[in-house]
């Protein structure tokens, strides 16, 4: 083989080798996978860690909520559990305090006719409170002979009317009559003049009189239907009067006649209350009659030996 032939063979072989080298390079590029995208993998891992942390926080929030707060929205139908948890109202660990109830005050009379002469219930309550305060200001004996009359809200007001002054107690004013049943039956007649308590008459305990009938006039209620005995025959007229007492459940109706006029009494939780206006001088006490549900007379003060019939 001459030098020319050697050079030609070498050239052809060199071309072949060069071509083979190019083919192997292209095949390697085709078979070898692309370089690993490390930055993208790192970002994806960071995102997944954040999702796991958010899910953990949601589970902690659920554990902290009260049992009643576990009414989550359904995850199906496009529901988002995390969004449902976030939308639930927050509950307070300390409940809102309930305002304490204020005292109800004295009970009202059974009928509005027991509030007379334009006296309002509020004015009657104010008078009762002033008289109870007046009683507390008085000295009480250590033996407890004068028991504490209690608070105004323990009472029921059964009568309020104008009072007429006389030679024994000058000056007009207002009478307030109130009663309570516990701890024992108590009745008070309070006189208020010029906005101040000026007199108080009380009776504690029931009047256990012998042979008492189904109707019993209050034994100390005379101040409501008469002026001073010093002025007998010379009373100031017209004169607003009242009569109070107790009745048994069998009594359905009570009437009181005084000075030629008869008044229908109001029945109020075991008490009767009657009133009227006197326009003449009198010397005979009011006459009281009680009737049963059948309309029959069951009591007549004219036949009651315990009742004082003359003034």
The confidence score (pLDDT) of residue 148 equals 85
pLDDT one-digit tens code per residue, 225-254: 999 888 888 999 999 999 999 999 999 999
Burial of 293 (0-12, 13-18, 19+ CB in 10 A): exposed
* Buried/exposed 202-234: b ≥16 CB within 10 Å, e otherwise: ebeeebeeeeebbbbbbeebbbbbbbeeeeeee
The confidence score (pLDDT) of residue 74 equals 37
Average pLDDT over residues 146-162: 93
Cβ neighbors of 207 (< 8 A, separation 6 or more) are: 216, 218, 219, 246
- Whether pTM > 0.85 for this model: the answer is no
The confidence score (pLDDT) of residue 143 equals 63
| Confidence band for 17, pLDDT divided at 50, 70 and 90 | low
Looking at the DSSP assignment, which residues form a beta bridge with residue 291? 253, 297
């Amino acid at each position: 083989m001459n030098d020319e032939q050697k050079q030609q063979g070498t050239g052809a072989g060199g071309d072949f080798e060069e071509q083979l080298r190019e083919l192997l390079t292209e095949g390697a590029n085709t078979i070898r996978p692309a370089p690993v995208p490390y930055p993208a993998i790192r970002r994806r891992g960071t995102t997944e860690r954040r999702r796991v942390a958010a899910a953990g926080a949601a589970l902690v929030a659920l554990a902290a909520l009260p049992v009643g707060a576990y009414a989550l929205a359904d995850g199906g139908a496009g529901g988002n559990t995390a969004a449902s948890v976030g939308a639930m109202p927050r509950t307070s660990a300390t409940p809102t305090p309930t305002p304490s109830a204020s005292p109800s005050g004295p009970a009202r009379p059974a009928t509005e006719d027991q509030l007379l002469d334009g006296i309002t219930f509020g004015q009657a309550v104010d008078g009762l409170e002033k008289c109870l305060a007046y009683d507390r200001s008085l000295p009480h004996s250590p033996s407890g002979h004068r028991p504490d009359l209690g608070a105004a809200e323990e009472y029921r007001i059964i009568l309020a009317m104008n009072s007429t002054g006389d030679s024994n107690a000058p000056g007009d004013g207002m009478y307030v009559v109130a009663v309570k049943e516990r701890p024992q039956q108590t009745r008070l007649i309070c006189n208020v003049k010029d906005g101040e308590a000026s007199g108080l008459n009380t009776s504690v305990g029931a009047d256990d009189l012998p042979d008492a009938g189904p109707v019993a006039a209050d034994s100390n209620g005379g101040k409501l239907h008469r002026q001073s005995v010093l002025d007998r025959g010379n009373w100031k007229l017209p004169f607003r009067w009242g009569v109070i007492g107790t009745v048994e459940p069998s009594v359905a109706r009570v009437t009181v006649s005084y000075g030629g006029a008869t008044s229908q009494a109001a029945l109020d939780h075991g008490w009767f209350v009657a009133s009227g206006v006197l326009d003449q001088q009198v010397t005979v006490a009011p006459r009281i009659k009680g009737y049963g549900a059948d309309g029959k007379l069951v009591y007549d003060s004219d036949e009651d030996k315990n009742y004082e019939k003359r003034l």
